[in-house]
Amino acid sequence: MLDAIINDLFIMLSAAKYIGAGLACSGLIGAGAGIGLIFSALIASTARNPQIRSQLFSFAILGFALAEATGLFALMVAFLVLYS
């Protein structure tokens, strides 16, 4: 009887880990949308003013790195939830 209860608790814990990891990966949605917005703004700005393309590109790469870092943090949290 006690073995069955412990087995059920273990199954529920592993299911909760998978659900938590999936919810932690929802931060990747925001990172993907942010990267898309950054580069769409870069294309629109370059079309309006081609002379400052190099300056805009450096700002876009900085924004890309920051947006990608938040996505990687969310992925790291998901792995910590899943494998700890």
Tens digit of pLDDT for each residue in 31-81?
999 999 999 999 999 999 999 999 999 999 999 999 999 999 999 999 999
Overall domain count for the chain: 1
pTM of the model: 0.77
- Residue 37 structural domain: 26-84
Around Cβ 69, how many Cβ atoms within 10 Å? 11
Helical H segments across the chain, by residue range: 2-24, 27-48, 53-83
Would residue 79 count as lying in a domain?
A: yes
* CATH number for 33: 1.20.20.10
Would residue 4 count as lying in a domain?
A: no
Q: Which of 56, 2, 60, 55 is nearest to 36 (CA)?
A: 60
Give residue-wise pLDDT tens across range 49-60: 999 999 999 999
- Tokens 């929802």 sit on residue: 26
* Residue 5: pLDDT band with limits 50, 70, 90: confident
Q: How far apart are CA 53 and CA 55, in angstroms?
A: 6
